[in-house]
Structure 1
Amino acid sequence: MNFYDALQLDPAVLKRKIAACDTTREKAYYWSAMAIRSALIVGFAIVFISVLSGLFGADNTPLAVALFCMMLGIRFVHFEYCIGDSLIALAAALAILVLAPCAAAVLPPLLLIPLHFAAFFALLCITTQRPEMGNGGLYSFAYVYLTGNPVAGEALLRRWLLALVGYLICGAILFAKHRSQHKTTRFHHLMRKFRLSNPLHLWQLRMALGVSLVLSAGQVFHVERFMWMGFACASLLSEYPYSGSTATRFWQRIVGALAGSLAFYALYLVTPEAFHPLMGPLGGLCLGFCTDYRYKTALNCFGALMLGTGLYGLQGAVLLRIADTVLGVTFGLVFATLFHHLAAVRWLPAPEPQQTAAQPRS
């Protein structure tokens, strides 16, 4: 495998190759690929987001972040239907990401749940036909992040223009990489097959309803940085295949948030002030080596807390991150349990009884 191809691989794949290597030189080759891959992604992210933020305003940085993540994901993961419908779906997804979060900021509380549910459910239906490929987590992150950072007036106009630029970039990548995929499959073909007895569609419904409820609660009760609650809840519910139990990820998220927040706190105190702006990129670099959900959760705290510290101070940001995470995953755990026992068991087909081989007579 040449070095360029190695750079395209996910860290999990690279680690499997490292484990299979027989020589130290081969291991070093793949470790180098992983390190350079991580550095390139972080470096490109800084340049890409900085340029778009400079052109369209700092208040639209959240959309620039979302577009960067979409751009990386869309190279490898398509929408599972023909390119014509996929390009229309991409435009619809970006329209939802711009319009729904800004509308939620001005609508009365009674309309928040219907708005979030309709918008987020539609977003999942058009982008996530194979959740195991990561689109569910990607687009839920974008929706929650933008809901926590709405804009209005001139900034909203600039956000629409940025979305147009993002559409041209992501659409070009989508066309170049996936135009020959699923040529005969139309979006409406997939929608005709929608059944709540299908675990995929049940997962979409649970994800949309749970995230819409937690976001609405955060907005109605004016929870500080409520999008952190949304991230935690969405991460819990995004696990696929569908399962009625989310307890394992519940504890992993809490442990990861505690470890990441405390590590950030300690590192912030012992390092010089000039180093503090680098803590977010440092977390991003380390993420490039991670395959475990707990470690990813911990390192994601660095970027979030770097921004939060400027708003709430170090101690306030750390406590808020932990509190919002606990609230989000607790809500997600309770919701997932109720959803499974009150709804999912009615729709999912009963498991087939296991047949045992007949025992010979003695």
Structure 2
Amino acid sequence: MTTKFYDALQMDPAVLKRKIAACDTRQEKNYYWIAMAVRSVLIVAFAIVFISLLSGVFGSDNTPLAVALFCMMLGIRFVNFEYCIGDSLVTLAVVLAILVLVPSAAMVLPPLFLIPLHFTAFFAMLYMTTQRPEMGNGGLYSFAYVYLTGNPVLGEALVRRALMALVGYLICGAILFAKHRHHHKTTRFHHVMRKFDLSTPVHLWQLRMALGVSLVLTAGQVFGVERFMWMGFACASLLSEYPCSGNAVVRFRQRIVGAVAGCCAFFVLHLVTPEALHPLMGPLGGLCLGFCTDYRYKTAMNCFGALMLGTGIYGLQGAVILRIADTFLGVTFGLVFAALFHQLAAVRLLPDPEVE
């Protein structure tokens, strides 16, 4: 039985591709391919309108928060925090406060305080939002944290960022209430806190993510790495795999291959297309991302938006080289950190899934 078109638009590309593979007729396959294409176009169009509107009201220096809010808004429709709606609305406010205040604090604090600041803030955010890492919440909120850490603001711009966060809270809170108010009614956040145990895979994963990301962000800031948030994205992506193990070589290779392929594709397209079309390369990457299910292809398409912005700062060649270099630094750090962390903790607390 063919899924309703509206329902097909809500599906992940991986689900749609499985349905395509199961179809018996060309007509059915085309139906789901069209749904995937329309879904991708609608998401990119809505992203452009939503982000442009918020940036227009609260300033272009706060565009990173608009991007983060858009991603949160999409994710929160399908994934809740695994506890009652009242406590979820409170923790959503705390998460947004972390995203607004911590990057600015990290900008002015001495290096000595950066690791504890990032670790405490990032671990708290993961603990509040990600009880089931397999649902993707960890990747979403880690992206938001790293992106905003790489784009801090102070003064009047920080006030505008706080006001944007308030608007975002009203929107995301309304969606959270509408979609999840009947879920986990008897579970309170303090029940979740009482269950904390490093012998469980999810809490070990949260600890590893928080420690690894806090270390790589601190290193990037202290050593003045250009566009260090790209290094943070790469490391966080490698460490976000769940359940965690010490063997991150496969994801390491996939991230490198994807980044190099994406940078090369962007470089060639930027050279062969008219200058008037260059601003469309970011949305083009977003459209293509809507068809991707493989991690390497997702990594490649994510390069387009990043490089579109980076080219305006560093030039085409400089942005491409910097993206590849930062990616290599981030995944190399993540690879070494994962191996060391696994040796120190996971061997005793979490069996290697490959062994099982």
TM-score over 0.5 for the pair: yes
- Residue aligning to 2:92: 90
Matched, 1:170 2:162: no
Tell me the alpha carbon deviations over residues 51-110 of structure 1, each in whole angstroms, 9 at most, x when there is no partner: 000000000000000000000000000000000010001001000101111100000000
Distance 1:252 1:350 in 2: 20
Paired residue for 1:338? 340
1:163-202 mapped onto 2 (5 Å cutoff): 163-202=165-204
Q: Which runs of 4+ in 1 moved over 6 A?
A: none
Say which of 296, 315, 318 aligns to 2:317.
315
Query: How do 1:190-339 and structure 2 match up within 5 A?
Result: 190-339=192-341
Identity %: 83
Higher mean alpha-carbon deviation, 58-67 vs 185-194, is at 185-194
Count of paired positions: 353
Conserved 8 A contact 1:81-1:183: yes
Q: CA deviation at 1:347?
A: 2.9
Amino acid at match of 2:108: V
Structure 1 residues 156 and 350: alpha-carbon distance in aligned structure 2, compared to 1, 3 A threshold: closer
Is 2:12 the counterpart of 1:10?
A: yes
Task: Name the CA distance, whole Å, in 2 between partners of 1:2 and 1:77.
Answer: 22
Larger Rg: 1
Deviations 1:170-194 (A, max 9, x none): 0000000000000000111111111
CA distance in 2, matches of 1:350, 1:227: 30
Please say if residues 245 and 346 of structure 2, whose CA atoms lie closer than 8 Å, have aligned partners that are also in contact: no
Is the 8 Å Cα contact of residues 197 and 349 (structure 1) preserved in structure 2?
no
| TM-score after normalising by structure 1 | 0.96
Which residue is equivalent to 2:52?
Answer: 50
CA–CA distance in structure 1, aligned partners of residues 217 and 349 of structure 2: 26
Does the aligned pair in 2 maintain the 1:247–1:333 contact within 8 Å? Answer: yes
Partner of 2:72: 70
- What residue is the counterpart of 1:103 in the other structure? 105
Between the aligned partners of 1:172 and 1:350, the Cα distance in structure 2 is 40
SS of aligned partner of 1:78: coil
Indicate the SS of the match to 2:264: helix
**Secondary structure of 1:243's match?**
coil
Partner of 2:163: 161
Q: What is the deviation of 1:342?
A: 1.4
Residue identity opposite 2:325 in structure 1:
A
- Alpha-carbon distance between aligned partners in 1 of 2:352 and 2:290, rounded to the nearest angstrom: 41
Structure 1: 5+ residue runs without aligned partners?
355-362
Unpaired runs of 5+ residues, structure 2, are: none
Is 2:111–2:222's contact at 8 Å kept on the other side of the alignment?
A: yes
Give the letter aligned to residue 267 of structure 2: Y
Do the aligned residues in 1 keep the contact of 2:246 with 2:340 (CA within 8 Å)? Answer: no
Q: Distance in 1 between matches of 2:86 and 2:222?
A: 39
